[in-house]
Structure 1
Amino acid sequence: MATVKIYYEDQYVRSFKANIIKSSKDDQGRSYVVLDQTAFYPTGGGQPHDTGTLNNVRVNDVEEVDGEIRHFVDEPMEVLTECVGELDWNRRFDHMQQHAGQHILSAAFADEYGYQTVSFHLGKEICTIDLQIDNLTDEVVSKVENIANNIILENRPIETKWVTEKELSNYMLRKELSVLENIRLVIIPDFDYNGCGGTHPVETGQVSSLKVLHWEKQKKKVRVSFVCGNRVMKHLHEKHMIVHGLTSLLSVPQEQLQEATKRVIQQTKELEKTIVDLKMQLISHEANKLLNEAKVIGHYKLVQSIFQSRPVPELQQLAKRITENEGNILVLFINDDIDDKLQLVCASGKNLDKNMNQLLKDVLPKINGKGGGSDSIAQGGGDKSISAEQLMDELLRIL
């Protein structure tokens, strides 16, 4: 028995009765059933699938595969069983609002500016259309958004009609059809004529409202993000709560938020710069202290130290500061990290003929480590398979 797609005939069906004519599993082991008739919409045309229940068994996905509509269920169901299907109506109606809003928005772009929509995606939070253009302006978006909301406010009918290929010449279609059989048109009279198999309300007023959120360049297209209906109120509420929170934190009215935020960002940058300068002063002081405590070994001095959970970039800066001030010096730093890791920084002054990169490579196998650098400074790390003290002894032995 061929599947009857009830959602094409009455998109306001919330529950229905049907018989299970097939029960099986797909290649991924997911259980599914095929019904003799259904009100569940399968994923397609940029619109996600419906969800709901069949005899209280959860329907978590709906797909059209090899000409049959598969209802993927949480548990297997028997063939020839009569069942009652219940749609998740909030999800269905949300999709109806978003899809109809997309038709209106795309038609407004096409009619007013000739911008053609080449793809549509109905996401869980926002919807997007891709326009075949290079850029978009605030003025264009504002005008198109006004046109779309006026069409919604006028509460025009949204009609669906099945036509043949020969009958297509009677309609000014917004874009070429992808099929030439079982052609279904969604029509907003005197505004939009478009081939579509998705779900829509029967009047534009039920879309409620449309808001463009933002747009961005996507290769040779522009992607426009928008929301319709109940999602507009959700986004408005979320943004209001954020703005209200910021006005309280910054102690300024809403209209001064932008300037207040700029001031905070600038102050933060200045403070960060101050912190960096102070850290460098501390590192310079620490470098002088370590240099004064250096051991004299033949014709060069040796600075060696083991640190606990010290950021490696700081150790690199410290080693560079020491070697900048002394040409005949060798620096060996080991960091005993809290994550059971050992890290090394090895540096030499410009007057010493010692290869730090080679020294690091010679010692890293002891801790199953990795790293590298130049002749004058190298860094790396590995497992704490030996103690930090043992690793330091190994460095000195190799030297």
Structure 2
Amino acid sequence: MTIKIFYKDPYIKSFTAKVIKQRQDHEGKWYVVLDKTAFYPTGGGQPHDIGSLNGSNVERVDDVEGEVRHYVQAPIDEIDNVKGEINWLIRFDHMQQHAGQHILSATFEELFGFKTVSFHLGKELCTIDLDIPELSLRDAEKAEGYANQIILENRPIEARWMNKEEVDQYELRKELSVEENIRLVIIPGFDYNGCGGTHPDTTGQVVAIKLLNWEKQRQRIRLEFVCGDRVRNQLGKKQSIINQLNQLLSSPEANLVTVVERLLKNEKEMGKSLQETREKLFNYEVTELTNNYEVINGTNVVGKVFDELSMKELQKIAKLVVGNKKDVVAILINTTKAKLQLVVARGSEVNLSMSELIKNSLLIIDGKGGGNEELAQGGGEPTITGEQFLQEIKEVMK
């Protein structure tokens, strides 16, 4: 069993230890087990520490039945006097976020009776899942304000090892997952919670809590938040974006929402106008096509090559053509840099099978497609031009 000295002193930044095991796992990755360690292993929603052992980077730390495995880039040569260095910035960030989660979860439970059922400490954001179906802005703001008041009061945060009888003296926020060697993290008069994570020794060191967003996840609310230096980092990122928008939109911050709403409205109106224009162009195309057909093997055929239309638009033109002229077959081709697309359709007075026509036509370009007797579509590699493709399809029909 590795002695976990981070429990005695979560502020420890370096230590010396002895290697008691050095192995490769089933993936061939080296790990080191020490007689004692200040590296926190992944667990309880908190990520592992990183740092180095004798200069070799520690990239992952796992706890396997009390054996703390330090995954290193290379084996350790000196096994009797190993110096461990903790990445303090990351360790303290984890301490701030984890303590902030305790404060936030206790706040929601004290104010509203909302229980926290899970916690995740990510690289940039933290989340808790509240066992409620909805969260109002009013309740969220009230909880954020109260949590920050607890931080401002700079209350002590204590961690104590207890047995079950000692724990029974406290009103715990959630049920314990163990019955012996219980570690209780305490903010006196506010929160009592079984936890194996690392925490600062006062709430003031959490600095601040900021709720960022929340959304419904199944029948629960997942709430995003940040604490400590992450609040400043988030503010910096968001301010940078606002400054860029100020310049792009030539608008002060207070008017950004109004300006964006106006732009979106204008875009919607322009999109509607553009669609109406395209509809007129489609109708013009349909008129031109139905007035310019040729007879192939006793069947009236209209054909045209388009550039950069969508398959949906190609299908629409084809349907309009055969709807207006019921004794015609429409062969419409669309060209892009990446492929040739084909739509064939027949009017109600034509007996040719479009699924058969598409199958025979796509053999020309080694393409794929399908459809039914009235309408079929497909595509393939642009091995020939659209005009050549159209002529060869006409040859197929002869």
TM over 0.5: same fold? yes
Partner of 2:262: 263
Cα displacement (A) at 1:253: 2.7
Partner of 2:45: 46
SS in 1 for 2:331: strand
Mapped partners of 1:343, 1:83: distance in 2: 67
Partner of 1:93: 92
Segment of structure 1 superposing worse, 265-274 or 302-311 = 302-311
Cα pair 2:126 2:224 within 8 Å, conserved:
yes
Mapped partners of 1:319, 1:226: distance in 2: 53
Consecutive unaligned residues in structure 2, runs of 5 or more: none
Q: Which amino acid aligns with 2:351?
A: D
Partner of 2:187: 188
CA shift in 2, pair 1:182/1:276, >3 Å = same
Cα displacement (A) at 1:316: 2.1
SS in 1 for 2:48: coil
Mapped partners of 2:389, 2:108: distance in 1: 71
Segment of structure 1 superposing worse, 2-11 or 349-358 = 349-358
Mapped partners of 1:392, 1:92: distance in 2: 71
**Aligned 1:42-191 pairs, distance under 5 A:** 42-78=41-77, 80-191=79-190
Cα pair 2:40 2:49 within 8 Å, conserved:
yes
Cα pair 1:18 1:38 within 8 Å, conserved:
yes
Segment of structure 1 superposing worse, 159-168 or 321-330 = 321-330
Partner of 1:358: 356
**Aligned 1:227-238 pairs, distance under 5 A:** 227-238=226-237
Partner of 1:343: 341
Once the two structures are superposed, residues 219-248 of structure 1 have per-residue CA deviations (whole angstroms, 9 ceiling, x without a partner) of: 121111111011111111111222222233
**Aligned 1:274-353 pairs, distance under 5 A:** 274-297=273-296, 299-339=298-338, 341-353=339-351
Cα pair 1:128 1:224 within 8 Å, conserved:
yes
Mapped partners of 2:147, 2:220: distance in 1: 21
Q: Which amino acid aligns with 1:210?
A: I
Mapped partners of 2:121, 2:249: distance in 1: 36
Mapped partners of 1:307, 1:189: distance in 2: 75
Q: Which amino acid aligns with 2:49?
A: D
CA shift in 2, pair 1:286/1:172, >3 Å = same
Cα pair 1:332 1:345 within 8 Å, conserved:
yes
CA shift in 2, pair 1:354/1:34, >3 Å = same
Q: Aligned-pair RMSD on alpha carbons?
A: 2.1
Cα pair 1:34 1:68 within 8 Å, conserved:
yes
CA shift in 2, pair 1:393/1:355, >3 Å = same
Segment of structure 1 superposing worse, 358-367 or 264-273 = 358-367
Cα pair 2:303 2:390 within 8 Å, conserved:
no
Cα displacement (A) at 1:351: 1.9
Mapped partners of 2:159, 2:184: distance in 1: 6
CA shift in 2, pair 1:333/1:125, >3 Å = same
Mapped partners of 1:346, 1:214: distance in 2: 50
Cα displacement (A) at 1:81: 4.5
Segment of structure 1 superposing worse, 281-290 or 33-42 = 281-290
Consecutive unaligned residues in structure 1, runs of 5 or more: none
CA shift in 2, pair 1:173/1:11, >3 Å = same
Cα displacement (A) at 1:115: 0.9
Cα pair 1:21 1:79 within 8 Å, conserved:
no
Segment of structure 1 superposing worse, 351-360 or 55-64 = 351-360
Partner of 1:380: 378
Q: Which amino acid aligns with 1:357?
A: S
SS in 2 for 1:115: coil
Q: Are 1:224 and 2:223 an aligned pair?
A: yes
Cα pair 1:23 1:78 within 8 Å, conserved:
no
Mapped partners of 2:140, 2:238: distance in 1: 20
Q: Which amino acid aligns with 1:139?
A: R
Mapped partners of 1:369, 1:28: distance in 2: 44
Mapped partners of 1:392, 1:121: distance in 2: 62
Segment of structure 1 superposing worse, 37-46 or 316-325 = 316-325
Partner of 1:370: 368
Mapped partners of 1:120, 1:180: distance in 2: 22
Q: Which amino acid aligns with 2:198?
A: T
Q: Which amino acid aligns with 1:293?
A: N
Mapped partners of 2:81, 2:43: distance in 1: 27
Segment of structure 1 superposing worse, 182-191 or 303-312 = 303-312
Cα displacement (A) at 1:362: 4.1
Once the two structures are superposed, residues 113-147 of structure 1 have per-residue CA deviations (whole angstroms, 9 ceiling, x without a partner) of: 11111110001111111111121111111111111
Partner of 2:210: 211
SS in 1 for 2:60: strand
Once the two structures are superposed, residues 268-294 of structure 1 have per-residue CA deviations (whole angstroms, 9 ceiling, x without a partner) of: 000011111112222222333333332
Cα displacement (A) at 1:299: 5.0
SS in 1 for 2:138: helix
Mapped partners of 1:398, 1:336: distance in 2: 21
Once the two structures are superposed, residues 58-104 of structure 1 have per-residue CA deviations (whole angstroms, 9 ceiling, x without a partner) of: 11111112331111111233473422111111111111100000000
Mapped partners of 2:368, 2:179: distance in 1: 62
